[in-house]
Amino acid sequence: MAHLTNPGPFHPSIPRPLHNPASAPAPAAAQPQVHDHGAAPANHNHDHLTSTTQLRTATPGASQPLMKSPSATHALIRGDRTAGMLTMSDDHVMMNQILATHAPDGRDVDVRPLLYLVEDILNRATEHVDFIIKGTQAQIEMEEKAQQANYIAMLEALTFTIDRIACELSYKALRGSDPHATTTAIFSFLSSYAWDAKLVLSLSAFALNYGEFWLLAQIYSTNQLAKSMAILKQLPSLLEHTAPLKPRFNALNTLIRTMMDVTRCVVEFKDLPSMYISPDAPALASAMTLIPTAVYWTIRSMVACATQISSLTSMGHEYGVSATESWELSTLAHKLQNIHEHLRKQLNLCYQHIEEKKDVDTFHMLLKLFDPNVAHIDNMKHLKALIYAGDDKLPLLDGATRRKAGLEVLRRRNVLLLISSLEFSGDELAILDQIYSDTRMHEAGMQSHYEVVWIPVVERSGVPLSEETPTRFEALRSSMPWYSVEDPFLIEKPVMRFIKEVWHFRTKPILVVLDPRGKVLSQNAIHMMWIWGSAAFPFTSYEEEKLWSKETWQLNLLIDGIDPLILDWIKDGKYIFLYGGDDMEWISKFVASARTVASAFGIPLEMVYVGKSNKREQVKKVAAIIKERKLSHCWEDPAMVWFFWTRLESMMFSKIQLGRADDLDPIVQGIKKLLSYGREGGWAVLSEGSNILVNGHSTTVLPTLVDYVKWRGNVAEKGFNLSFIEYHDQLHNVAHPCCRFEFLATTKAPESIRCPECHRVMEKHTAFVCCHDEQAIPDSLFAS
User: Is 311 a domain residue?
Assistant: yes
CA atoms 383, 387, 392, 396: torsion sign: negative
| Residue 637 shares a structural domain with residue 678 | yes
Instruction: Using the CB atoms, write b or e for 348-357: b if 16+ within 10 Å.
Output: ebbeebbeee
How does pLDDT run across 596-613, given as a tens digit for each residue? 999 999 999 999 999 887
User: Is 697 a domain residue?
Assistant: yes
Which of 76-85, 296-305, 533-542 has the least mean pLDDT?
76-85
User: Is 753 a domain residue?
Assistant: no
Maximum average pLDDT range among 265-274, 745-754, 768-777: 265-274
How does pLDDT run across 453-501, given as a tens digit for each residue? 999 998 776 555 677 788 888 988 999 999 999 998 899 999 999 999 9
pLDDT at 294 over 90: yes
How does pLDDT run across 237-292, given as a tens digit for each residue? 566 656 666 777 788 888 999 999 999 999 999 889 989 998 889 999 999 999 99
φ, ψ of residue 713 to 5 degrees: the values are -65, -20
- Percentage of the chain with pLDDT > 90? 34
Which of 311-320, 542-551, 674-683, 722-731 has the least mean pLDDT?
311-320
What's the confidence (pLDDT) of residue 178? 85
What's the confidence (pLDDT) of residue 131? 40
φ, ψ of residue 329 to 5 degrees: the values are -65, -45
pLDDT at 86 over 70: no
Residues 334/339/345/350 CA torsion (nearest 10 deg): -160
Mean predicted confidence (pLDDT) in 435-443 = 71
Find out whether 471 and 502 touch, Cβ atoms under 8 Å.
no
Find out whether 685 and 558 touch, Cβ atoms under 8 Å.
yes
pLDDT at 89 over 70: no
- Domain final residue pick, 306, 322, 356: 356
φ, ψ of residue 331 to 5 degrees: the values are -65, -45
User: Is 12 a domain residue?
Assistant: no
Which of 110-119, 122-131, 669-678 has the least mean pLDDT?
122-131
- Domain final residue pick, 724, 739, 754: 739
3-state secondary structure of 685: strand
- Percentage of the chain with pLDDT > 70? 72
What's the confidence (pLDDT) of residue 636? 80
What's the confidence (pLDDT) of residue 768? 40
What's the confidence (pLDDT) of residue 60? 33
In the sheet with 605-609, reading across from the earlier edge strand, the strands are 633-634, 605-609, 575-580, 683-688, 691-697
pLDDT at 763 over 80: no
Residue among 186, 227, 237, 202 at smallest CA distance from 11: 186
What's the confidence (pLDDT) of residue 208? 85
759 contacts: CB under 8 Å, gap ≥ 6: 663
Residue among 436, 458, 668 at smallest CA distance from 552: 668
φ, ψ of residue 418 to 5 degrees: the values are -85, 105
Find out whether 244 and 321 touch, Cβ atoms under 8 Å.
yes
Find out whether 620 and 642 touch, Cβ atoms under 8 Å.
no
Interatomic CA distance for residues 53 and 35, integer angstroms: 10
- Domain final residue pick, 492, 513, 538: 538
Reported confidence tier of residue 681, pLDDT bands at 50, 70, 90:
confident
Query: How buried is 223 (Cβ within 10 angstroms: 0-12 exposed, 13-18 middle, 19+ buried)?
Result: middle
Find out whether 679 and 781 touch, Cβ atoms under 8 Å.
no
Q: Which helix (H) or strand (E) holds 522?
A: strand 520-522
24 contacts: CB under 8 Å, gap ≥ 6: 66
Which range of residues forms the domain containing residue 485?
Answer: 379-459+467-538
Reported confidence tier of residue 428, pLDDT bands at 50, 70, 90:
confident
User: Is 339 a domain residue?
Assistant: yes
Interatomic CA distance for residues 464 and 462, integer angstroms: 6
Which of 59-63, 391-395, 589-593, 687-691 has the least mean pLDDT?
59-63
What's the confidence (pLDDT) of residue 55? 29
What's the confidence (pLDDT) of residue 541? 84
3-state secondary structure of 450: strand
What's the confidence (pLDDT) of residue 253? 85
More confident residue, 426 or 354: 354
| Residue 441 shares a structural domain with residue 384 | yes
Checking 696-699 for CB contacts under 8 A at 24+ apart, the result is 696/728, 696/732, 697/673, 697/732, 697/735, 697/737, 698/581, 698/583, 698/586, 698/590, 699/731, 699/735, 699/737
What's the confidence (pLDDT) of residue 512? 94
pLDDT at 758 over 60: no
pLDDT at 554 over 90: yes
pLDDT at 745 over 80: no
397 beta partners: 404, 484
pLDDT at 391 over 90: no
| Residue 718 shares a structural domain with residue 677 | yes
Interatomic CA distance for residues 461 and 517, integer angstroms: 34
What's the confidence (pLDDT) of residue 43? 38
| Residue 471 shares a structural domain with residue 565 | no
577 contacts: CB under 8 Å, gap ≥ 6: 594, 605, 606, 607, 608, 632, 684, 685, 686
Neighbouring CB atoms inside 10 A of 369's CB total: 16
More confident residue, 84 or 380: 380
User: Is 79 a domain residue?
Assistant: no
Residue among 645, 613, 542 at smallest CA distance from 769: 613
Total domains in the chain come to: 3
More confident residue, 22 or 627: 627
| Residue 352 shares a structural domain with residue 387 | no
| Residue 249 shares a structural domain with residue 102 | yes
pLDDT at 13 over 60: no
What's the confidence (pLDDT) of residue 553? 92
Which of 525-529, 539-543, 573-577 has the least mean pLDDT?
539-543
What's the confidence (pLDDT) of residue 679? 72
Which of 247-256, 390-399, 721-730 has the least mean pLDDT?
247-256
3-state secondary structure of 612: coil
φ, ψ of residue 647 to 5 degrees: the values are -65, -40
| Residue 572 shares a structural domain with residue 482 | no
User: Is 187 a domain residue?
Assistant: yes
DSSP 203-266: HHHHHHHHHHHHHHHHHTTT-HHHHHHHHHTTHHHHHTTHHHHHHHHHHHHHHHHHHHHHHHHH
How does pLDDT run across 227-250, given as a tens digit for each residue? 777 777 666 656 665 666 677 778
417 beta partners: 453, 512
Interatomic CA distance for residues 359 and 489, integer angstroms: 15
Q: What is the CATH number of the domain that holds 438?
A: 3.40.30.10
Continuous H helices in 698-759? 698-706, 708-711, 715-735
Query: How buried is 50 (Cβ within 10 angstroms: 0-12 exposed, 13-18 middle, 19+ buried)?
Result: middle
Reported confidence tier of residue 637, pLDDT bands at 50, 70, 90:
confident
More confident residue, 3 or 740: 740
More confident residue, 223 or 95: 95
How does pLDDT run across 178-228, given as a tens digit for each residue? 888 899 999 999 999 999 999 999 998 998 888 877 777 777 667 778 777
- Does the reported pTM lie above 0.75? no
What's the confidence (pLDDT) of residue 80? 42
Residue among 416, 389, 506, 388 at smallest CA distance from 457: 506
- Angle at which helices 323-369 and 282-315 pack, to 10 degrees? 150
| Residue 505 shares a structural domain with residue 418 | yes
Interatomic CA distance for residues 662 and 329, integer angstroms: 81
| Residue 321 shares a structural domain with residue 383 | no
| Residue 532 shares a structural domain with residue 559 | no
Interatomic CA distance for residues 339 and 345, integer angstroms: 10
User: Is 24 a domain residue?
Assistant: no
| Residue 269 shares a structural domain with residue 122 | yes
Interatomic CA distance for residues 123 and 210, integer angstroms: 11
More confident residue, 203 or 441: 203
| Residue 607 shares a structural domain with residue 659 | yes
Query: How buried is 384 (Cβ within 10 angstroms: 0-12 exposed, 13-18 middle, 19+ buried)?
Result: middle
Interatomic CA distance for residues 405 and 566, integer angstroms: 43
Reported confidence tier of residue 579, pLDDT bands at 50, 70, 90:
very high
Reported confidence tier of residue 724, pLDDT bands at 50, 70, 90:
very high
Find out whether 682 and 583 touch, Cβ atoms under 8 Å.
yes
Compute the 3-state secondary structure of the chain and give helix, strand, coil in percent, each to the nearest 5.
60, 10, 30
Average pLDDT across the chain, whole number: 77
